[in-house]
Copies of this chain bind each other. A is one copy, B any other.
């Protein structure tokens, strides 16, 4: 099994996808990857992202620069969230075929669920989050990562619409409608995530859901349409 081909064109950064479970090899790889990430973030937090060189990171994690690039493909790669949190086929189907009354609520739950499930190492997550939000360049990357996710979820919403019997030929804007639903839900998620991080990861998902749902409602119903 070859490591992470630098499939850089598609703005792929890297994946922690370890399809093998328990070979010495894959455990070692996972360990190395984690070490590099940790050192990278520690250095970034200590000296500021732009003052950290790949060489420093390598020195701190005792790998060669070449190996660093084998793993991450780019300096940023070591900083940007590893997982592309995709819903399971099951979650996907449930959402598409679910006929609940509120697309927003269900979409939000879907995203929430997928997103939170993916993050395992809280400490790493926090460090990365702090660093990203104090580094414009990383923040930009993060934002575009998020907007890639949004594309995907917009696809799901579109599927759901079609499953509800609405067709693109019938409603040409259907795709745009899907995108806007996602934009709104995503705004809500950003909000929720901020609360969650600010509150040190304490509040329950249920509480967040309630608050957020109220927010969406307020935004969209205070409006007097022309």
Tell me the A residues contacting B by CB distance below 8 Å: 9-11, 50, 101-105, 136-137, 139-141, 143-144, 147, 173, 176-177, 179-181, 183-184, 186-188, 190-191, 194, 211, 213, 215-221, 223-226
Contacts and interface: CB of A to CB of B under 8 A. Distances in A.
B180 A215 contact: yes
18 contacts: A9-B50, A101-B223, A102-B223, A102-B224, A102-B226, A140-B144, A143-B143, A144-B144, A173-B211, A177-B219, A180-B184, A180-B215, A180-B216, A183-B186, A184-B220, A213-B225, A220-B220, A220-B221
Nearest to A181: B219
Consensus secondary structure, chain A interface: helix
A183 B177 contact: no
Interface hub of A139, A141, A226 (most chain B Cβ within 10 A): A226
Contacts of A141: 140
B215 A176 contact: yes
Nearest to A190: B179
A43 B63 CA distance: 39
A210 to B, nearest CB: 9
A183 B173 contact: no
Interface hub of A105, A140, A194 (most chain B Cβ within 10 A): A140
A217 B225 contact: yes
Contacts of A213: 225-226
B101 A224 contact: yes
Contacts of A226: 101-102, 105, 213
Contacts of A220: 184, 220-221, 223
